[in-house]
A and B are shown apart, each in its own frame.
Chain A
């Protein structure tokens, strides 16, 4: 069939098909028999071998048997002296090595060619040889490789260097390290590419030796190179060094970068310019020279050069928009560039650097070709709009209109998500425009194919809608979803409706009618939700509505599943206690974002990895028998605390885990001495009031360079004490050992110890952050009868925003309703915090701050558990 169809195609193309169209694998492999002829026809063999390579390149797969057979036929071609044919043989050997068996048999032929007289063969033979040689055999060709690296012929030397790097990355590290001297010699070669490859190999070998890398860069940057590629590589290495060190200590490397801006090759100039942009904490003044060269690139006739320049300038505009202002005229010329990518980048750069008056014009320009650019660049535009929003709040209206138009256009999920995120960010920043923004989003969900976005918007409507002037106008949009969408969206819509019912009394009756209609839905979840909400709403009790509708439980779903499984597996008469389920962790940096924070990245929400971190700890800890009876893990401290300086003999990090009545200290210990083997390693802690040491779990054996973990289990004796300081000592038995093998010299070791930094236990270790979307409702739910109040003078804090930061961190609670955002120049502020105390007791804090000379605070704590209330109140002292 295939063949017949093929012939037809030929006719259409006027019979212009060469030997490469409609190739059949079996035919070609058949033809390869000609390789076995006694007298080879070079031309014919070349064509057949090319056909085989072409077929493989097209993606036709050979079976190992076919490949092996063909490979053996190819080996016969070594008799031919035809250069092209022989070179094709080398290429085929590399291709065949992936599938055929016994390719190793050509080792001697290749070794002969690699050391032979014919220069045309040598480089290619080396590369083929290194592909078929496995790591254990490299030793056999070591001598030839060393010679080849320093060969006078550049193709030979380059081939050897590049192959050495491949071998190095394949894992034969030690052997390749022995070739450093040869590589060093090659790095002074007159041939451009040889020099480049040699520097590359040297860097890979020395990558982990900071001192050697620094030395190499310093030396090469002083002596200068010939190869432009070499310069690019050297610039990247120099940046790596600069990133690690304080820049002030190595001004020479910085000067080197600057000198590269004057190189005669554009590639090097561009590399240097973008390298400078990437340096952290570079100042606007230092960037000036880089901006000047990029400005020249903007008027280059080559599109690639213009693209490179405008892309980099766009990036500079994010950090130092002022420096780029000088390029505005050149950028203006690019906004109608035929390459739409360049035009888009130019416009988005101008949006960041230009003044308020130019925004309208630029937006108009970009609208004209929005439909022509790819989704990637549309997202760039959206990001730019986001940053314009920060700069010019007065432009919110026009930008919102633009975003709404973009929402209506075709586009992929990521693009739509970026738009929705931006609109939400604007709504949160500017309450005047909330109504308009919500209406746009309502319109969007009327015809939205992305379930994730639809549910997100419905959730937002439920939260923000009831607080607007005319909440009723959103009901229609939400109820439409109940009628038209998938089950997930319908369920979200029901929840959203219920929130309107709970917050707006005048709408309650209508909402109840709508919810009643949802009882006939054919999805279980939708019906369940509707029924629950109806019953709750009918009670007309604020505390009930708050607990079930406005601020639903915030446990981690994974944790809930685990806890329920455990509960079901053990027959038990007690009811299931929801308080034993770990709380959904809300990482500290995920608090409601201001628009500014989001401009730099698409990574807006990353809750998944955080949840898995908790799961990893749970898994590790529950595997240890001593800890299995402690109950569920309540909380783990966010980042490990260093108990040693980073460059000492032993490195110890501590993570604190909190259980209902216990603390587990996890010590990650690394031994950095290669001539020592440590045994029975444990961290001994001194008891402090309210806490008792129960047991130690030591590390049996700790060899050099492999981090291992010791644990200390501490019991919480007194529930009224939450803080304390532990003095720690690392104790172990030292055995001296051979640095190379790690074998101890003798079995007898000696005891030794090492003093570590103290570990503090604070209130925040007992506290888990939770989000209360409707703080006031929860506040009323707990009620006035469960509260303590106190007034404090915070003399150590310099202003209100400082106090907000410190109190939030100290209590380890979540700020709600964006109360962590403090307006400057305000003399009073109310901070709202929510958290769950160890044992599952919810705590809410309302702190009224005022500044009159020093900061004073009136703090009200509410919790149904009185002990918790007092602990939190007492902790501030």
Chain B
């Protein structure tokens, strides 16, 4: 069916795609200019990929001689793509690194709207996780540290406002009890 030739190389990832539930690209990175010479091939691949994966949540799919591992959440689909002979578990660790790091930033808001609000973080994450097809880092904690997401950035989210409110209530309670 296929050759299992594995030329030792650091370049293991051919593409990372993040699509929404209509198959539209939110952000994609392609590292293999031979398989994907232009935007046309990229878009065609994404359409094909989306049509094959939107229904069945199967985690892994083979198409066009490539292996794609994927995860989805609400209206987001995350894909990491490698060659058909690539170690699938290696691709999976890249996918999980990206997904987990992002979910720590977006917290409960892991959906398209939330992603738009943190687009700059996504851009930096994509830059830090894979460079020219070479996996740079997959540990979400290290990744988050590298993109330097500051705690105050999420300081004004609803959640922290609620926290402040809670704290204020607590202290008021205590002061009343005294």
Contact = CB atoms under 8 A, between A and B. Distances in A.
B136 A162 contact: yes
Interface stretch (B1-9, B159-167, B169-177): B1-9
A230 to B, nearest CB: 10
Interface string B97-132: 000000000000000010011011101100110011
A35 interface: no
B105 to A, nearest CB: 12
A377 B93 CA distance: 25
A158 interface: yes
Contact of B87 (A197, A239, A270): A270
B127 A165 contact: no
Of the candidates B29, B113, B117, B119, the one having the most CB atoms from chain A within 10 angstroms of its own CB is: B119
Interface in B13-69: 25, 27-29, 39, 42-43, 52, 56, 58-63, 69
Given A54-B27, A165-B134, A308 B89 contact: yes
Interface stretch (A81-89, A353-361, A639-647): A81-89
A373 to B, nearest CB: 10
Interface residues of A, number: 74
A271 interface: yes
A380 interface: yes
B150 interface: yes
A267 B89 contact: yes
Nearest to A128: B127
A163 B136 CA distance: 11
A236 interface: yes
A430 interface: no
Contact of B59 (A50, A229, A303): A303
A236 B6 contact: yes
A196 B11 CA distance: 12
A26 to B, nearest CB: 20
A275 B63 CA distance: 23
Contacts of B135: 193, 196, 229
Interface stretch (A16-24, A623-631, A720-728): A16-24
A284 interface: no
Given A203-B8, A302-B59, A376-B63, A88 B117 contact: no
Given A166-B132, A304-B92, A236 B27 contact: no
A339 B63 contact: no
Contact of B90 (A46, A232, A315, A339): A232
A99 interface: no
A307 B9 contact: no
Contacts of B146: 120, 123, 155
Nearest to A243: B5
Nearest to A61: B39
B131 A127 contact: yes
A798 interface: no
A275 B29 CA distance: 29
Of the candidates A50, A196, A275, the one having the most CB atoms from chain B within 10 angstroms of its own CB is: A50
A236 B132 contact: no
Contacts of B117: 18
Given A54-B27, A339-B56, A339-B59, A46 B87 contact: no
Contacts of B56: 338-340
A686 B123 CA distance: 72
A278 B8 contact: no
A274 interface: yes
Given A50-B120, A236-B6, A87 B131 contact: no
Given A46-B120, A303-B58, A380 B137 contact: no
A304 B87 contact: no
A200 B10 contact: yes
B156 to A, nearest CB: 11
A338 B63 contact: no
B6 A278 contact: yes
A91 B59 contact: no
A304 B123 CA distance: 27
Contacts of A340: 56, 58
A379 B2 CA distance: 12
Contacts of B29: 57
B8 A233 contact: yes
Given A58-B25, A233-B8, A240-B8, A88 B123 contact: yes
Interface string A95-130: 000000000000000000000000010011001000
Contact of B113 (A18, A277, A305): A18
Given A267-B87, A274-B87, A87 B148 contact: yes
A376 B66 CA distance: 11
A820 interface: no
Contact of A91 (B10, B52, B88, B127): B127
A270 B89 contact: yes
A304 B90 contact: no
B113 A162 contact: no
B90 A274 contact: no
Interface in A336-376: 338-341, 374, 376
B44 to A, nearest CB: 12
A857 B56 CA distance: 64
A304 B88 contact: yes
Contacts of B121: 84
A170 to B, nearest CB: 11
B87 A271 contact: yes
A200 B60 contact: no
A274 B60 contact: no
Of the candidates B1, B29, B43, B148, the one having the most CB atoms from chain A within 10 angstroms of its own CB is: B1
Interface in A243-278: 266-267, 270-271, 274-275, 277-278
B103 to A, nearest CB: 18
A664 to B, nearest CB: 36
B11 to A, nearest CB: 9
B1 A341 contact: no
A648 B63 CA distance: 46
A311 B84 CA distance: 11
A733 interface: no
A495 B53 CA distance: 46
Contacts of A799: none
Nearest to B147: A87
A266 B1 contact: no
Contact of B116 (A20, A46, A379): A20
Contacts of B61: 341, 374
Nearest to B116: A18
Nearest to B114: A18
A412 interface: no
A46 B27 CA distance: 17
Contacts of A660: none
A123 B136 CA distance: 11
A59 interface: yes
A761 to B, nearest CB: 37
A338 B131 contact: no
A339 B58 contact: yes
A196 B8 CA distance: 12
A307 B88 contact: yes
A47 B59 CA distance: 33
A239 B6 contact: yes
Contact of A158 (B59, B89, B127, B137): B137
27 contacts: A18-B113, A18-B117, A20-B119, A47-B120, A53-B123, A57-B29, A84-B150, A84-B153, A127-B131, A158-B136, A193-B137, A200-B9, A201-B10, A239-B6, A267-B89, A270-B88, A271-B87, A274-B87, A303-B58, A304-B60, A304-B88, A304-B89, A307-B59, A341-B60, A341-B61, A341-B62, A374-B61
Given A57-B28, A304-B88, A307-B60, 13 more contacts: A18-B116, A50-B123, A84-B121, A84-B148, A87-B148, A200-B9, A229-B90, A240-B8, A303-B60, A307-B59, A341-B58, A341-B62, A374-B52
Minimum-distance CB pairs A-B, first 7: A200-B10, A18-B116, A303-B59, A236-B8, A339-B58, A267-B89, A50-B120
Interface of B: 1, 4, 6-10, 25, 27-29, 39, 42-43, 52, 56, 58-63, 69, 87-93, 113, 116-117, 119-121, 123-124, 127-128, 131-132, 134-137, 146-148, 150, 153
